[in-house]
Amino acid sequence: MRTVNKTEIKKFNKLAAEWWDPEGSFKPLHKFNPIRIKYIKESIINYFNIKSKKLPLKNINILDIGCGGGLISVPIKKLGANVVGIDASLKNIQVAKSYSKKNKLKIKYICSSPEKLKIKKKFDVILILEIVEHVDDIDFFINQSSKFLKKNGLMFIATLNKTLKSYLFAIVGAEYILKWLPIGTHDWEKFVEPQNLIRIAKESKLNLINLNGLKFNPFFDKWELSNDKSINYIAKFKKN
């Protein structure tokens, strides 16, 4: 599997049991989730002109690539979407399946990377959140992921910018000083500058709709959208 980084898989396999512990190793993602869900939900509603308020994502087919233990797949499913989650870590998939079964949620989880995924279905929306900085060959990863997106479909990619600020905050600060993440969670060399991501996406017939920064507000202890893209950012693309 060309995009799979075995070191990264081993790293996440060790942490797999902690996915649904809001105080565990994935605590930052639990804090991150509300703004991600809000942004994705509102973007899909506006783009597809959805009127339903009870289950706003009903009948929207979504592929969550690099789904981990299902932290995004589960709330998206609860909004009414039809969700398929894939991850190259079998332990992550086992955790995701167990959690969904326990909570009586019909989410299809598959242990696979995009290039090995055997599925003919194409999706309205593809989510690639906090995963491209953990893969090998990002160009090929996005190219293979885009094959499963319908024409005029949406793809969301969230990742970390490659700046001095991101090194200081996301690695030195988050891993070594604040201990928000286990040391070694991120490799700054794999962080992706927005202009590079936009170029890669364009080569896979994905045109940028908009790009927003995401920042942590310590006063309110929550994440919010920002014009500052120097650390975390989320990009929204449309398939040609």
Confidence bin at 178 (pLDDT 50/70/90) = confident
pLDDT number for residue 90 = 96
Q: Is the pLDDT of residue 151 over 80?
A: yes
Taking only the tens place, the pLDDT of each residue in 112-147 is 999 999 999 999 999 999 999 999 999 999 999 999
Whether the CB-CB separation of 123 and 61 falls below 8 Å is answered with yes
Residue 135 pLDDT: 96
pLDDT tens, residue by residue, 201-210:
999 999 999 9
Answer yes or no: CATH 3.40.50.150 is held by domain 6-239. Answer: yes
Query: Tokens standing for 129?
Result: 């959140």
**Domain map (residue ranges) of the chain:** 6-239
The mean pLDDT of 105-113, rounded to a whole number, is: 98
Average pLDDT over residues 36-54: 95
Averaged pLDDT for residues 38-49: 97
Mean pLDDT of 136-159: 98
Please count the CA atoms within 13 angstroms of the CA of 118 that sit on its side-chain side: 1
Using alpha carbons, select from 213, 201, 220, 211 the residue that is nearest to residue 169. 213
| pLDDT at residue 1, rounded to an integer | 62
200: Cβ contacts below 8 Å, ≥ 6 apart:
138, 139, 142
> Residue 59 pLDDT > 90, yes or no?
yes
53 pLDDT more than 90: no
Q: Among residues of the chain, what percentage have pLDDT more than 90?
A: 92
- Global pTM value: 0.95
List, in order, residues 6 or more apart from 122 with CB less than 8 Å away.
148, 149, 150, 153
**According to the model, what pLDDT value does residue 240 have?**
94
pLDDT of 2: 85
Q: Is the pLDDT of residue 79 over 90?
A: yes
Write out the H or E segment, with its range, that includes residue 132.
none
